[in-house]
Amino acid sequence: VLALNEKIKKVGEKIFASNGKKVDFASALESCEEAGGTIATPMNEDENKAILGIVKQYNQYAYLGIKEDQTSSQFKYISGMPLNYTKWHQDQPNGKGTEKCVEMYTDGSWNDRKCNLYRLTICEF
């Protein structure tokens, strides 16, 4: 149990956890789904802070469950629902169609990024 300290965060009905692995977006999503969850998707400030706790623990940027919609160029949850909470870094998002994924910085703010970079895997259950 001690080994999992700080690597699992519970907020409301959600549990966030990381395996500590850095992979591309598709692989992160796949490993979260194989574990019975999905990629971490902050829906409010408390959830964002919980994910940030894991990001800080590993001192690694992490992908979030948000992608740029092909047709509207709007960022949406991977479920297709519109975002009801955002924490974009200053002057972000700025990739306009070239950066379709979203990463969390170590200060908790978000940046749009290419999906083929290796980022920390954080899942939610």
Q: For residue 16, which of 118, 42, 87, 98 has the smallest C-alpha distance?
A: 42
Where does the pLDDT of residue 6 fall: very low under 50, low under 70, confident under 90, or very high at 90 and above?
Answer: low
Q: What is the pLDDT of residues 35-55, one digit of tens each?
A: 999 999 999 999 999 999 999
| Residue 71: predicted pLDDT | 84
CATH architecture of 11-124: Roll (3.10)
Where does the pLDDT of residue 85 fall: very low under 50, low under 70, confident under 90, or very high at 90 and above?
Answer: very high
4 pLDDT above the threshold of 60 = no
2 pLDDT above the threshold of 50 = no
| Residue 7: predicted pLDDT | 75
